[in-house]
Amino acid sequence: MSLIVTGTIGIDTVYTPTGHGERILGGSCTYFAAAASFYGPVRMVAAVGGDFPPEFMATLGHFRNVDVAGLEVRKGSKTFAWGGKYRDDMNSRDTLFTELGVLAEAPPKVPASFADSRFVFLANTHPGVQAGMLGQLPRRALTVADTMDLWINVAKPELLALLKQVDGLVLNYDEAELLTGRKNPVTAGRQILGLGPRFVVIKKGEHGALLVHRDGLAALPAYPAEKVIDPTGAGDSFAGGMMGSLAAAGSAPGADAGSFDAIRRALVHGTVVASFNIEAFSLDRLRTLTRAELDARYNEYAAMVRV
Ligand code: AMP
């Protein structure tokens, strides 16, 4: 069933303890769409500036399931740019700079051909922009949003308004604490359910993810990865695997796409596809990933977590 994403397409500069990537393709929407494309078609709504390199456009084009009809190129504007530096544990990072560029302008519009989208993912961007998408998607069946520290700090009222309109929220452990003031992720998750969503997924990097759903709790370990080159986009590709697999499964008539069991199953796909993304900078690993590799790791992981 039709999946749509809005978020950032960024030019990233990333430093890890073992290397760095300068002005590489990134952005929340980018990683999400690339990961989701392994499960089915994904529609992208985003904006970039006239400085967006043609080779980045070619990289997006490599993912055949990604429909870029909603990608606006604004000649006189600048692309969103972000710089980050990971600490030695690779689990935490500091933002070096955020240049909003097109994000400070009017949000991109949903093309008429995308208006019938059923599965909606609001990847990280200003919560006002995320909310603006919803009015343009009257047929949505499942809406999930991501957010992060910047938006919790600078746009909390807009974020709280958005939470009343979504089925699910995905965020990091420390962001859940920032949003709720609660250190315990289960308590934080339950408090977020009180703000509107039916479920919240709290990600804890190499420690996996916690699902706090109105109908139950589930915890999933991360895939025990040996090769971690660049964790950037782990959260977005995780969400891409989750929503991509939900949209694929949601074709069954009468299926409740947001049920506890459906979300828990989808998190397995998110975990597996994210474990590939971190093996290289930018989209370099997702670009070479094959269906067979994805399936093999899914089976390996499923066997690992079976009790
Ligand atoms: P992740 O590692 O999953 O949190 O995603 C990192 C990606 O998000 C990078 O490629 C950045 O371009 C993008 N990004 C960083 N800060 C923001 C922000 N405040 N809003 C939206 N996207 C962001």
The domain locations on the chain are: 3-305
Residue nearest to atom 1 of ligand 1 (CA): 233
pLDDT of 216: 98
How many A from CA of 157 to the centre of ligand 1?
A: 21
d(CA 15, CA 162): 32
How many A from CA of 277 to the centre of ligand 1?
A: 14
CATH number corresponding to 3-305: 3.40.1190.20
pLDDT of 118: 96
Residue nearest to atom 9 of ligand 1 (CA): 27
Closest atom, ligand 1, to C-alpha of 172: 4
* Banded model confidence at residue 205, pLDDT cuts 50, 70, 90: confident
pLDDT of 251: 61
Ligand 1: which of 11, 15, 30, 82 to mutate, judged by most atoms within 8 Å of the beta carbon? 82
Q: Whole-prediction pTM value? A: 0.97
295-306 tens-digit pLDDT: 999 999 999 998
Q: Produce one character per residue of 47-59: b if its CB has 16 or more CB atoms within 10 Å, e if not.
A: bbbeebeeebeeb
- CA 72 vs CA 48, 56, 129: distances in Å: 6, 14, 15
Cβ atoms of 15 and 4 closer than 8 Å:
no
* Banded model confidence at residue 255, pLDDT cuts 50, 70, 90: confident
How many A from CA of 303 to the centre of ligand 1?
A: 32
pLDDT of 144: 98
How many A from CA of 208 to the centre of ligand 1?
A: 19
140-181 tens-digit pLDDT: 999 999 999 999 999 999 999 999 999 999 999 999 999 999
